[in-house]
Amino acid sequence: MHIFQQPAESQVLRLLGDAKLPTADLTPQHFEHFFGCGSRQAPQGVVGLEIYGSEALLRSLVVEEIARGRGCGKALVAETERYARL
């Protein structure tokens, strides 16, 4: 499972929109703390972190239906947890 940092803003917005998750409050700074799963050109899942000083909030986890059950969500959460500890 390929996990990467900073998927394209357009891809994040597409995935979140398809899942009917909120996007209106996302700023350019939020996109710095998003991770993607799959190919960089067409991620099948994304997750973001909102960072507040030494605290972080996991937000906006979505995995396309076709990719569910293959470990994408678990891998995204594991990577964001690792990143949040840094």
Q: Dump pLDDT digits (tens) for 2-15.
A: 999 999 999 999 99
State which fold the 3-85 domain adopts: Aminopeptidase (3.40.630)
Domains in the chain: boundaries: 3-85
- Within 10 angstroms of residue 3's Cβ, the number of other Cβ atoms is 19
Per-position pLDDT tens, the chain of length 86 = 899 999 999 999 999 999 999 999 999 999 999 999 999 999 999 999 999 988 999 999 999 999 999 999 999 999 999 999 88
Through-space distance between the first and last CA atoms of the chain, rounded to whole angstroms: 22
- Amino acid occupying residue 16: L
Give 63's strand partners. Answer: 45
pTM of the model: 0.93
